[in-house]
Structure 1
Amino acid sequence: MSIRLQVSTNPNPNPNESGKRRTLDLGNGSEIIDIPRFLPFDESWKLFDYLDKEIPWTRPLIRVFGRSCIQPRDTCYVASVGLPDLRYSGYQPRAYSWDEYPPLKDILEAVHKALPGSGFNSLLLNRYKSGNDYVAWHSDDEKLYGPTPEIASVSFGCEREFLLRKKPSKTSQVDKCKEEPARKRSKKDNDVNQQSFTLKHGSLLVMRGYTQRDWSHSVPKRAKAEATRINLTFRHVL
């Protein structure tokens, strides 16, 4: 089954709404762009249904800290022809073609229009079927993405929390220990070195610059997240 959906390329049809584009400077060349209402609500549900039913989801066996386990979410990989193979945690997914799933090309076009100058050529899809599905703390700092990868994340379905935390610096840790009590230091660290976003249905969140070098991110388990969430992360492979 193949369908062609019309996707809105205007991330802000009403600039007075609270869902307008927001840019967050994380410092030292790291940046987040958050567009809570990137795609129209009803169109996003059509896309959700298509992705849930038509994408060839798999839940692979991966290796984490030397141990084999089932990945705690479903996944699928789409990429342009001729790119290096993707491999993570001992798993090498099959690369499907953009032409096999035309709605993904529509979403890609919308993302490119929202982010002028971007040139995404690969897509990792993840499906979280309940609050028990998650992504552990990590950074997408593989060499095939280059030193300053731009990663655009489009979400559908159940809202989930997305966390960012700054990677520790040995030098800064020593300096802070000398300067102030642990209680005050802990509160400051939480304010400056951690960020939280709610990834809404039809939203777009972008990590830019040195975010992968200096920050880690996760989608933690949440008991109240009972419905399915589907996430598309667009990347540029060198």
Structure 2
Amino acid sequence: MALTQIPLPGARIGFDPHWLPPDQADALLEALLRDVPWEVHRIRLFGREHASPRLSCWIGDADARYRYSGTLFEPRPWPRALEPVRERLAETLQVGGDNVFNSVLANRYRDGRDAMGWHSDDEAELGSEPLIGSLSLGATRRFLLRHRSEPSRRLALELPHGSLLVMSGPTQLHYRHALPRTRRPVGERVNLTFRRIVAGECGDTGRGSRR
């Protein structure tokens, strides 16, 4: 099934709310909660170190080192449950060879107090127009995009269990995105953002700070 393209000026957004069937999404969520070595990532903002308001794990091939907000992350090995997901995602997006996904950032939002602040995935090692495949598991949360210089250009999406959101082209250049806190009672959510790290480009632009 092809992704639905969501019109947003200066961006390229694809969305499939039912990309992963419910039984597969359930099994994957259970495996990730059990097998991923979750930890609190510490990042540097405005010269001070902070604990991220969520649990995370940087996963990838051995050379997929990633630096953001002053911290260098060495990849953890791929859990067995993620290998078929990576392969299916590559088939869906028709990527292979030098463009195949070699890493994924896993974020675990334990309840509505866990969140992700405004940022762009624009670090140098992701390339000039990165392809980001974002798979959501568990509780539905609201995802926001906002244009860097024209705040009236914005988009809000509800990301349900098993949904796939794809950002590509100039999206990261023109837009920031966030997963805000909510006072509503919500269950646990895991988000997987698959990406391609370009070997030898690991640096810290300081632009893509995660809050």
TM-score in terms of structure 2 length: 0.87
Q: Select which of 55, 69, 75 maps to 1:74.
A: 55
Q: Which position in structure 2 is the counterpart of 1:111?
A: 89
- Please state if 1:22 is matched with 2:37: no
Q: Which residue identity lines up with residue 166 of structure 2 in the other structure? A: V
SS at match of 1:96: coil
- The Cα of 1:225 is off from its aligned counterpart by 4.4
Tell me, in whole angstroms, the C-alpha distance in 2 between the residues paired with 1:114 and 1:163: 24
- Please state if 1:220 is matched with 2:180: yes
Tell me, in whole angstroms, the C-alpha distance in 2 between the residues paired with 1:82 and 1:131: 34
- Please state if 1:128 is matched with 2:114: no
Higher helix share: 1
Cα deviations across residues 110-130 of structure 1 (Å, max 9, x unaligned)? 111111125111111000001
- Pairing of 1:1-238 with structure 2 (within 5 A): 12=1, 21-28=3-10, 30-83=11-64, 85-98=65-78, 101-117=79-95, 119-168=100-149, 190=152, 193-238=153-198
Contact 1:135-1:219 within 8 A present in 2 as well: yes
SS at match of 1:27: coil
Q: How many residues align?
A: 195
Q: Which residue identity lines up with residue 92 of structure 1 in the other structure? A: L
Tell me, in whole angstroms, the C-alpha distance in 1 between the residues paired with 2:51 and 2:116: 12
Gaps of 5+ in 1: 1-11, 13-19, 170-188
The CA RMSD measured in Å over matched residues stands at 1.5
**Could you tell me the percent identity over the aligned residues?**
36
Tell me, in whole angstroms, the C-alpha distance in 1 between the residues paired with 2:28 and 2:14: 22
Q: Which residue identity lines up with residue 131 of structure 1 in the other structure? A: G
- The Cα of 1:213 is off from its aligned counterpart by 0.4
Q: Which residue identity lines up with residue 115 of structure 1 in the other structure? A: L
Structure 1 residues 96 and 38 mapped into 2: Cα distance closer, same or farther (>3 Å)?
same
Tell me which structure has the larger Cα radius of gyration. Answer: 1
Contact 1:120-1:236 within 8 A present in 2 as well: yes
TM-score in terms of structure 1 length: 0.78
Gaps of 5+ in 2: 199-211
